[in-house]
Structure 1
Amino acid sequence: MEENRHVDLESANATFIQSSENENFLQATEISNVVHSYDAQPDSDVEKTSPSSSENIEKSSTVLPAKHGFFSSALSSKRKLVVIKLTQSVLLMAVFIMGFLSIYWGSFYKRIEHLQRVHLWIVNLDNYSGSTIGPQFISVAKEFVKNMNTIQVEVKDVSVFGKDYSRYVDYVTEENTWGVFFIRENATGILNEALANPSSTAASTYNGSLAIQFLFAQARDEVAYGYINPWVFQLNDVFTSAYLQTTLKNAAANYSISNILQSAPGLLSAPAKIAQVDLRPFDIPVATATTQVGLIYLIIVSFFQFNFFQPVHMIIAQDLKIHHHVLYRIAASWIAYFFLSLFFSLISLAFQIDFTAKYGNGGFVVYWMLNFIGMLAVGGTCENMALIAFAIYPPLVGLCLICVVITNVSVAFYSIPLQAKFYRYGYAFPIKNLSDAFKTVIFNTKNTMGRNVGVVIVWIVLDIIGLPICLWFFGRQMRKKQAAATIFADKKR
């Protein structure tokens, strides 16, 4: 059985090489025919100076085919074949456009409506008798949510979740919530004390932005926070306007407004507002190339490995046993990706991306190894798909690359919670997991490295299992094409 499969593979490889040689020969013959056809055209000047040209043409053993107009009846059968082939190609590309490009367009569809899945917490420590900042903020926020009908808020019970500020920082950085409105303990009492003594140190140092803090981590998903942060700004405008009226009424009824305006006017201009506190800022702009667009190039570089190395593999493939050939292909790819991933990673280092946030000085090595296994995963997938596509219909190879890019990019660069449920497949795709792992290395976001690496390794294992199957299919299809070409050549004789 092994010998038969070895023979099949040798036959397939020989067919591949022979078909390439035949194509080169046909191209050369066609160019030669075109050149001869131009040489054969009558030219009065040439005939005058070269009377032997007609004799050379008559002596030629090559009979040039006659040329026809496109609508000539002599080309009727070929013209029909061309129309059929063009129609098939257009239909194939149309199916691809509607089937795969729709995945990318769909990743943006109804994104605003999906903001209802984003829940922000409200933690009110200003819950004493007579307090106004905490209760009014909750009231304004609930009304704002009702009017906007997008992002939702949840008031958390302090008796259950506690009052420790650092605890809520952890809730945000560990991605238990998209954000927390943390209302300072006794915020109203601190404001009233400043209003009562406008010339005191408490009044001169009063900062209304400390009353309410919005804790968030932009690096978790900079695209999602591109919607969340503007929403918070709008809420802040509504609340500060409403609470300013409350403060003015309180000051007019209980304190001296003239003294306040003279000593601490800021108490009346901004008594309470929301301060946004970014716990994990996306503060390295060039990192966008690493966590987003650069991953597209990682796929492309991995795919080019097949194009560059396939002719090299053919040199030795026909001399190897089948299992040695498979092992050789795997080893060659792994060695190539090991060095390619290093060069790929050095680009980010050259542009001074800091990899020390999570793993210290070893961060770059972690980033390199992530690129390495990422190339193994998507490169193996691309290689297997290319083998099948080339065996069936060679133009499909390019479409396979675009397919891999679209299905991965649609879920890696945009927040899955803000997409239709269909896009949850992204949690099991390599590029999404690589992007999350890169953010952990660069920005110290929630550590999901174990899950991310595990998903990528599963893809590597599946690629290794699929390679022998794809090589067998490739060999079988090449044998069929060789047999058909042989029959056709015999008929032509």
Structure 2
Amino acid sequence: MTEPHRLRKTFQCCSGFFSAKSRQEEGDDDSYDALHNEDVHESMYATEQLSRALTDRKLDEEEDDEDETPEVYTGTSDEQQQQQPRPPPTRRRSSVSSSIQKYKFWDKDFKQERTKILTQFLINYVFLIIGFTGVLCIYTGSYYQRDTRFKNLKMGVFIADQNVGDLPNIVGQTIEYFFTNVSTVQAAGDFHIWNHTTLADVAASHNNTITEEVYRQIHHQKFWAAFYVHENATLDWYQAMVTQSQTFNPVQSLMEAVYETGRDFNGVNVYIVSIINQLLQGYNEFIPQSGLVGHMLETLNSTQVLGVINNAPQLVTVIPTFAINDLIPVTNPVFAATMQLGGIYIVVMTFFLQVFCFRINMYLASKLSGGQFILSKLLTTQVSYLFISLAFIVLNTAFQLPFSGAFGHSGFLVIWMFAFLLMSSIGSIIEILVLVAFALKPPLLGFVLLYMVVLNISPVLAPIALCPSFYRYGYAMPLKNFYDLVQVAYFDSWKGMMGRNIGVLIAWIVVTNAMMPFVFKWLAKAKAKKEAKAKAEKLK
């Protein structure tokens, strides 16, 4: 349908809308069926131009085909037709003066159209309800019974305290009892107990001290958090009481809780820190009943006990607890915007890029052959991703987010490339889904964006270990891998998973771009088949 013809029909429809009881003065050939018109959708994604480009047909060839179509024999020769008087010229009545007949909604003559409209509404409702149900189930399902899966979080309990001569490791035994025998603690995580021997062996294999090895286990993401009882904790406390030390502080000197916010900005802030606080609250209720201070006083003679009570009461009147040690703290609040929704902005912008490029695609498809069109489209799309991802990183830098955490001044380029990989992988997926949705049912295009956002964000806002098993698909999603990469670049978290993260993004880019020519070819064939069918029906 040409542009003037479409405008004329639109004006005709509007003209009829504002006339109360006008009659149609022309035939049905110009009737405008708004419920089933697909020309607008077809022009949106250049399927007509795409069909010509991929089938190597030009407008001149199509016009020649129409000229070669045999005409029906009427029984008169050309000379006889020339001798016959020509009929008077007929002028087509202006479509502006004619309009579609108008009815009241409950008129009997409008019954068929009324049924058609109501049926279309019901079909739309079914699609919308099913679509939104899927979206809500995927997103809300990631939160379902999340508190029952805290036991999936791997936690380390590193007890470096050991017996020294006749002095037992009282502090270490008390902490081990708390994590192994208190029922409420067992539901807060999957606790792995390491004694001094295990810690010393692992530390020696990595040429580390015991404290360095504990930090290494957390940094290398072996555990979400570690509850570390220092080496010789009981001995240090005992010696402080014997010497009646005024500087030793049992509250902060014997144990520490270790974690890294930079490992997972969202997950650690929301869940790991909360679990640690709950455990410490339970510990503060448990420790007065454990007899820890009494057992420590039993290691002293009566004279030493009186000396501690009189001269250093702070050594026995306070409760030893875990000092909080965040190895990679994130203090800039602006990171919350980038780490929570920054990736979603990239997904949305990628979708809008497809919309903005519609006219460019139409022009390229009308001028280039099939292979050249696909190649040029892939190249121009990648260049667009490069510039838009640059804009994303520049805006983050404008809000003073430091990019030199892991890679120095090169961090800007590294994060830019990470954003480009995300846009390229997500964009190719979106484009394929848009083409398929467009061919099957164009109104589904909105769900392409919605589902891409929900499928990508659901496994990101919390550790996947806290989600149902279904959400393990998140390890293969572009946004999850991008999220892990930018945390390395911004926070200098462990780099050990970078290869896998980059590999997943590149795999999406390669596979989806390799599929693109086949999807274009399928769409072009579907369009050509539809046109051939319409032409055959016209000849009948």
Change (3 A) 1:394 1:192: same
Please give the root-mean-square deviation of Cα atoms over the aligned residues, in Å: 2.8
Instruction: Return the offset for 1:386.
Output: 0.9
| SS of residue paired to 2:231 | coil
Partner of 1:292: 340
Change (3 A) 1:261 1:222: farther
Instruction: Return the offset for 1:232.
Output: 2.5
Instruction: Say yes or no: does 1:196 pair with 2:242.
Output: yes
**What is the correspondence of 1:261-410 to structure 2 with a 5 Å cutoff?**
263-410=311-458
Partner of 1:9: none
Change (3 A) 1:237 1:276: same
Change (3 A) 1:131 1:81: same
Instruction: Say yes or no: does 1:96 pair with 2:97.
Output: no
Q: Is the 1:122–1:182 contact (alpha carbons within 8 Å) kept by the matching residues of 2?
A: yes
| SS of residue paired to 2:451 | helix
Partner of 1:158: 196
Instruction: Say yes or no: does 1:239 pair with 2:274.
Output: no
Please list the CA deviations of residues 278-316 of structure 1 after superposition, one character each: whole Å capped at 9, or x if unmatched. Answer: 112233322222222111110010111111011122123
Instruction: Return the offset for 1:348.
Output: 0.6
Instruction: Say yes or no: does 1:26 pair with 2:9.
Output: yes
CA distance in 1, matches of 2:410, 2:516: 33
CA distance in 2, matches of 1:354, 1:34: 59
Q: Is the 1:392–1:477 contact (alpha carbons within 8 Å) kept by the matching residues of 2?
A: no
Instruction: State the one-letter code of the partner of 2:366.
Output: Q
Max Rg structure: 2
- State, as a whole percentage, how many aligned pairs show the same letter: 25
Instruction: State the one-letter code of the partner of 1:189.
Output: L
Q: Is the 2:16–2:22 contact (alpha carbons within 8 Å) kept by the matching residues of 1?
A: no
Considering fraction of residues, name the structure with more helix.
1
Q: Is the 1:196–1:255 contact (alpha carbons within 8 Å) kept by the matching residues of 2?
A: no
CA distance in 2, matches of 1:192, 1:61: 102
Instruction: State the one-letter code of the partner of 1:30.
Output: C
Partner of 2:77: none
Please list the CA deviations of residues 156-211 of structure 1 after superposition, one character each: whole Å capped at 9, or x if unmatched. Answer: 1332331521111111111111222221122122222222333xxx3334242221
383-392 or 165-174: bigger deviation: 383-392
Q: Is the 1:195–1:255 contact (alpha carbons within 8 Å) kept by the matching residues of 2?
A: no
Instruction: Say yes or no: does 1:219 pair with 2:256.
Output: no
Change (3 A) 1:119 1:144: farther
Instruction: Return the offset for 1:19.
Output: 6.9
Instruction: Say yes or no: does 1:140 pair with 2:140.
Output: no
Instruction: Return the offset for 1:425.
Output: 1.0
CA distance in 2, matches of 1:397, 1:450: 33
| SS of residue paired to 2:323 | strand
Please list the CA deviations of residues 378-419 of structure 1 after superposition, one character each: whole Å capped at 9, or x if unmatched. Answer: 111111111121122111111111111111111122211111
Change (3 A) 1:68 1:300: same
Instruction: Return the offset for 1:146.
Output: 5.2
Q: Is the 1:341–1:375 contact (alpha carbons within 8 Å) kept by the matching residues of 2?
A: yes
Aligned partner (choices 506, 509, 534) of residue 457 of structure 1: 506
Q: Is the 2:425–2:478 contact (alpha carbons within 8 Å) kept by the matching residues of 1?
A: yes
Instruction: Return the offset for 1:31.
Output: 2.2
CA distance in 2, matches of 1:19, 1:471: 24
Change (3 A) 1:39 1:86: closer
Q: Is the 2:142–2:467 contact (alpha carbons within 8 Å) kept by the matching residues of 1?
A: yes
Instruction: Return the offset for 1:242.
Output: 4.2
Instruction: Return the offset for 1:250.
Output: 4.6
**What is the correspondence of 1:16-165 to structure 2 with a 5 Å cutoff?**
18=1, 23-35=6-18, 37=19, 62-128=97-163, 129-145=167-183, 149-162=187-200, 164-165=210-211
Change (3 A) 1:22 1:387: farther
Change (3 A) 1:142 1:62: same
The gaps in structure 1 that reach 5 residues or longer are 1-17, 42-57
CA distance in 2, matches of 1:242, 1:426: 39
